[in-house]
Amino acid sequence: MRNEQTAVFGGGCFWCVEAVFSRLEGVSSVESGFMGGNVENPTYRQVCGGDTGHVEVVRVKFDPAVIRYRDLLDIFFSIHDPTTLNRQGSDVGEQYRSAIFYTSEEQEREAEDAIAELNASHVFPEPIVTAVEPAGTFYVAEDYHQQYYDNNATQPYCQFIIAPKLRKLEKKFSQKVRA
């Protein structure tokens, strides 16, 4: 893609977030990985230990002529609970915190604006705690984490946690989902 941009989101388990963003028109790739910590080349086991400071994230490459960054933000906020600190469902720890790692000043502004609008409209019963931070080094997670849902769709976690998020995506954002 000529004008490809990068977005980085942390919204709990990266398997869930990756499954959603990989189904969108205008998205050319989604990689699961880690960002925001203090250990170089962390492993999944290290990050899950909770003492590296990393967040489970996805790096999304997208064409803004097909899907806008604001659309990605809207989807991001609809597929996880941005009001819980360091937790998504039964996943608990700093590695599961809600975070947007911006790659430009425009992304930072759009993320801050989206949070302010959602808080002002009281879409969520509690204030949004999503961190908005500059993107740092992205560390790709181990191969078995990539396209996890597509490779393991019959596993219980995929059926009970990820599949409902995909159904919600298809229902709420059907015009953005690949045919």
CATH classification of the domain holding 34: 3.30.1060.10
Q: Is the pLDDT confidence value at 172 over 80?
A: yes
* Assigned domain for 158 exists: yes
pLDDT value of position 178: 84
If pLDDT is split at 50, 70 and 90, which confidence band does 75 have? very high
Q: At 158, is the secondary structure helix, strand, or coil?
A: helix
* Assigned domain for 159 exists: yes
DSSP 69-90: HHHHHHHHHHSS-TTSTTEETT
Total domains in the fold of the chain: 1
Nearest-angstrom CA–CA distance, 111 and 133: 10
* Assigned domain for 177 exists: no
Residue 88 · residue 69 · CB < 8 Å: no
Average pLDDT over residues 166-179: 87
Nearest-angstrom CA–CA distance, 98 and 80: 8
List C-alpha distances in Å: 110 to 13, 33, 79, 132: 24, 23, 18, 10
> What order of strands is seen across the sheet that includes strand 139-140?
131-134, 98-102, 5-11, 55-62, 27-35, 139-140
Q: At 137, is the secondary structure helix, strand, or coil?
A: coil
Q: Is the pLDDT confidence value at 1 over 60?
A: no
pLDDT value of position 26: 95
Mean pLDDT estimate for the chain: 94
pLDDT value of position 90: 81
What are the tens digits of pLDDT across the range 83-127?
A: 999 998 888 889 999 999 999 999 999 999 999 999 999 999 999
pLDDT value of position 3: 87
* Torsion 1-130-161-56 (CA) sign: positive
- Is 13 assigned a catalytic role? yes
> Which residues span the domain enclosing 70?
5-172
The one catalytic residue in 13, 16, 48, 158 is 13
* Assigned domain for 13 exists: yes
* Assigned domain for 65 exists: yes
* Assigned domain for 134 exists: yes
* Assigned domain for 179 exists: no
List C-alpha distances in Å: 153 to 36, 61, 105, 107: 29, 23, 37, 32
Find where tokens 């880690």 sit. Answer: 34
* Assigned domain for 74 exists: yes
If pLDDT is split at 50, 70 and 90, which confidence band does 50 have? confident
